[in-house]
Chain A
Amino acid sequence: MDLLRFLTAGSVDDGKSTLIGRLLYDSKNILIDQLDAIERSSKNRKDGSVDLALLTDGLRAEREQGITIDVAYKYFSTPKRKFIIADTPGHIQYTRNMVTGASNADLIIILVDARNGVVEQTRRHSLIASLLNIPHVVVAINKMDLLNYGEKAYNDIVADYQKVAATLNLSNVSYVPISALAGDNIVDPSTKMDWYQGPTLLDYLENVEVKSSVNLTNARFPVQYVIRPQTDDLHDYRGYAGKIESGIYKKGDQIVVYPSGVEATIDKIELGGKEVPEAFAPQSVVLHLDQDIDISRGDSIVKKDSSLKVGQDIDAVVCWMDEKPLSVGQKYFLQHGSKVVAAMVKEIKYKLDVNELEKIYDVSQADLNEVVEVKLKTASPLAYDAYNDIRASGGAILVDQTSFVTVGAALLQ
């Protein structure tokens, strides 16, 4: 069975948590005691209905305020597929948590309140979907029940969103009119929107062909850990443990170690302790080489036929996630795969205006939740790919050198 990871995004009160609750409820993935618990908590509601949003709002502060603060992960399956949902916050101040949920997603559901149409948060979330290169976008136009299930509002929003999608180069965009509260077009087809002939949301999630974010062409293997038992019977054992981030490795492949540039041949591949002739992304394996060379954590073993960029001057699009602004001249740790290097911000090239989706030049800093492109200078050479070519070797995080907090998501260019 395959696995689809998706996230839900939208503004506050667009009904994200209700949508997930509805998806779990109508696909019979909610268990009795969980339902009992939310029924107890929903008792204070005037209309006596069950508040499905309580299924995902797991923190005390979230239930008190009726908002989602941090990503909640939910798991469900149907006979066709297994799903991991990241339910992410709508508030601008928690956009960084949305980016966290988006970074591993194959698909994003962007909720739009049919009464409000495309708003700033819709554009912000679409921008993040575009920057993080999420392969599929579903625009779920919610609260159709409040507009008497009329077709015009839906068509207007689709037309508006198509402009956003065109500006951001989003491909694979689909649209579904829904009511998360009433259950229209979530799992069961709506009886009130005959004008819509497309699939329900769950139909779509079950059948969309997952354009895997895994690249099988360019082989990348960051070394995480060196296994050296140094016992009598395994005296010469020296295995490089890591996860294949992309591509396929075979016994006998010619490889280059980055950043040193030393060449060797793959002598043996072990998967779960057993020797295998080949292995591919995203398997965790142990590689052995035909010669003893100095390789340690942070180095990458790359196939000779597929070179990557090596350098100290790196352009990166950065989603800023800290209260303290990013500014020119600041130094951070850049954590990329298993490697950590110091990096200085040399220049801010531009900032993205989230609302107009345009570049603003002559800026000196980036504040929380802003997106900028910067020039970084690293303390030692980094071997990397452009994020849009290989997600796993083009994504890095910026870490504050004194608080050690993760302050930015860097998409290397």
Chain B
Amino acid sequence: MSNYQLDYLDQLESESIHIFREVAGQFEKPALLFSGGKDSITLVHLALKAFRPGKFPFPLVHIDTGHNFPEALAFRDQLAEQIGEQLIVRKVEDTIKAKHLTEQKGKFASRNQLQTFTLLDSIEEFGFDACIGGARRDEEKARAKERIFSVRDDFGQWNPKLQRPELWHTYNGKIHKGENVRVFPISNWTELDIWNYIKRENIQLPSVYFSHEREVLEYQNALIAVSPFIQIDENDKISTRRVRYRTVGDMTCTAAVASEAYSIDDIISEITATRTSERGETRIDDRFSEAAMEDRKKNGYF
């Protein structure tokens, strides 16, 4: 019997591949939301395992806020080309112009909430009925509550009180016209699982995940990269530090961590030793309120 036991990473991998194939089997027009971060890169790797030697039954879609790390964008383009899959990019900048949206003001003005408009427009433009995303339940407590197949209404809104029961590995993707489903194949993975898997599978990542020298601004114990997208004030303390990114979101709202981790092994030991959560350490957008993520999801966010 012992020969037929699967290690936990193999169990998680198989569960995720199964979810990918359910999307392929149940939907007409799915899309994989791809940001160039480690979680969506892991999704692409799992999709390769699910569908090769066939093509992906969906394009990669990037909602580009215009505030991305250049390293992540370059990596995105290179990966799409290397695997020979279609990449669709839709820019928040264009939505802002077309819809006269009002941008946030202030020091770290973020386009995080405006992304939702571009995402919903893209869903409408292409008629996507399922959007696959790299959210994990260990990230945040509203995400801990979300189903793997999460039905959104015409406005992309999540209704946490009316979620469909989700039993065994049977995912109900039936929807009405206009609705769409957000699908989260790596719901049950933790941050450490992702890193252990990246190591095991030798998955390549953008350079910002590894220790590098960068000019940063210290703000309320967070290190924010100096970039054209943030407002620098006279009294700001700017220094060059050795840092890496634990998550890669927008340059305006993702903080770096001081680190000497140059390899995946170094990163795994740092994460094993850390006493701070991924989002708590690096996402200043979650600090607005206790329910920041829940509120964004109710409005159509990933």
Interface residues of A (CB under 8 A from B): 1-3, 31-34, 37, 41, 55-61, 63, 69-75, 82, 84, 96-97, 99-100, 103-104, 212, 216, 224-225, 227-229, 234, 237, 241-243, 248, 272-273, 280, 282-284, 297, 321, 333, 335-338, 391-392, 395-397, 399, 404-406, 409
**Chain B residues near A59 (CB, 8 Å)?**
142, 145, 160-161, 291, 294
Is B199 part of the contact surface with A, judged by Cβ < 8 Å? no
Given contacts A33-B281, A73-B137, A335 and B166 within 8 Å (CB-CB) = no
Fill in one digit per residue for B220-261: 1 if any A CB lies within 8 Å of its CB, else 0. 000000000000000000000000000000000000000000
1/0 per residue, CB under 8 A from A, across B5-27: the answer is 11110110111011001101100
Bound together, the chains give a CA A182 to CA B3 distance in angstroms of 42
Please report the number of residue pairs spanning A and B whose Cβ atoms sit closer than 8 angstroms.
Answer: 169
| C-alpha gap A321/B164 in the complex (Å) | 9
Does the CB pair B167–A409 fall under 8 Å?
yes
Query: Of A74, A216, A335, which contacts B4 at CB under 8 A?
Result: A216
B8 touches A3 (CB 8 A): yes
Do B49 and A224 touch across chains, with their CB atoms under 8 A apart?
Answer: no
B165:A406 contact, CB within 8 angstroms = yes
* Residues of chain B lying within 8 A (CB to CB) of residue A63: 290
Partner of B277, one of A33, A41, A399: A33
Q: Assess whether B83 is interfacial by the CB under 8 Å rule.
A: no
Residues of B within 8 A of A57 (CB): 141
Residues on B with C-beta less than 8 A from A72 are 141, 144-145
Partner of B21, one of A216, A224, A273: A224
Q: Is B107 an interface residue (CB 8 A)?
A: no
The main secondary structure of chain B at its interface with chain A is: loop
A406: which B residues are within 8 A, CB to CB?
Answer: 164-167, 172
Please tell me if B110 contacts chain A, counting CB pairs below 8 Å.
no
Which residues in A have their C-beta under 8 angstroms from that of B160? 59, 61, 69-70
Q: State the Cβ distance, B141 to closest chain A Cβ, in Å.
A: 3
B203 at interface, CB cutoff 8 A? no
The docked-state distance in angstroms from the alpha carbon of A60 to that of B145 is: 12
Indicate if the CB atoms of B165 and A321 lie closer than 8 Å: yes
Partner of A99, one of B1, B140, B165, B190: B165
Most B Cβ at <10 Å: residue of A104, A273, A284:
A284
Q: Is B163 on the interface with A (CB-CB < 8 A)?
A: yes
Residues of A within 8 A of B290 (CB): 37, 41, 60, 63
Minimum distance in angstroms from B179 CB to a CB of chain A: 9
Q: Which 9 A-B residue pairs are closest in the complex by CB-CB distance?
A: A58-B141, A33-B280, A404-B174, A284-B17, A224-B21, A103-B167, A3-B8, A227-B54, A284-B14
Identify the B interface with A (CB < 8 A). Answer: 1, 4-8, 10-11, 13-15, 17-18, 21-22, 24-25, 48-55, 57, 137-138, 140-142, 144-145, 160-161, 163-170, 172, 174-176, 187-188, 190, 274-277, 280-281, 290-291, 294
> Which listed residue, A212, A284, A333, touches B50 by the CB 8 Å rule?
A284
Question: Which residues of the other chain, B, contact A297 by a CB distance below 8 angstroms?
Answer: 25
Is the Cβ of A96 less than 8 Å from the Cβ of B168? no
B5, A229: Cβ atoms closer than 8 Å: no
CA distance A407 to B49 in the complex (A): 33
Note all chain A residues with C-beta closer than 8 A to B50. 241, 284
Closest residue on chain A to residue B191 by CB atoms: A75
- Bound CA–CA A396/B170 (angstroms): 7
Partner of B276, one of A31, A321, A396, A404: A31
- Interface residue from B13, B57, B144, B167 paired with A74 (Cβ < 8 Å): B144
A338 touches B145 (CB 8 A): no
Is the pair B53, A234 in contact by a Cβ cutoff of 8 Å? yes
A2 to B51, CA, bound (A): 27
Q: CA separation between A1 and B6, bound complex, in Å?
A: 9
Q: Which residues from B are CB-within-8-Å of A55?
A: 141
The chain B residue with its CB closest to the CB of A32 is B275
Query: Given A96-B165, A100-B167, A227–B51 Cβ distance below 8 Å?
Result: yes
Residues of B within 8 A of A227 (CB): 51, 53-54
Known: A75-B137, A75-B190. Contact between A224 and B145, CB under 8 A? no
Nearest-neighbour CB distance to chain A for B173, whole angstroms, equals 9
